Amino acid sequence: MTSSFAPESTSTVELKPSYNIPVVLVIAAIPVLIVQPWVGFALALFGLFLMFQALTLRLQFTATDLDLYRGEKLIRRFPYQEWQNWRIFWNGVPILLYFKEIKSIHFLPILFDPNTLKNCLEHRCPRI
């Protein structure tokens, strides 16, 4: 499925949550519980934690920043001018966003619509 989404550089885009990773982890934990209960429990717990994050966190691409919200509260702002590079790991099944700022690196599980995420990244902060 392709997306024809092309955001304007001045519009704010809020990404829709994606529950793919949490659901897969919780389902995968079920057979693991039978073989290795502690590992299965840890896997299920991690999946539920990511589900909670997908329910409560919001990413917004603004004209100048990537903003991370929990509900209505701004948690962190990542100005595009400080970005040096970004990459989405495993294009076929996107699970992880990596981006490097001048002073730090970040790894985020893809708990948001991966197509819109990629389009916004390509339009607002092209790779160096």
Check which CATH number belongs to the domain holding 111 and give it.
Answer: 2.30.29.30
Residue 104 lies in a domain: yes
Number of continuous H segments (helices) and E segments (strands) in the chain = 3, 7
Q: What is the DSSP letter of 72?
A: T
> Which residues are registered as beta bridge partners of 98?
87, 107
What pLDDT is recorded for position 9? 56
Count of the separate structural domains present in the chain = 1
Q: Which domain holds residue 109?
A: 13-124
Q: What is the pLDDT of residues 6-42, one digit of tens each?
A: 445 568 999 999 999 999 999 999 999 999 999 999 9
What pLDDT is recorded for position 10? 66
pTM of the full structure: 0.82
What pLDDT is recorded for position 47? 97
Residue 2 lies in a domain: no
Q: Kindly give the parts of the chain with pLDDT less than 70.
A: 1-10, 127-128
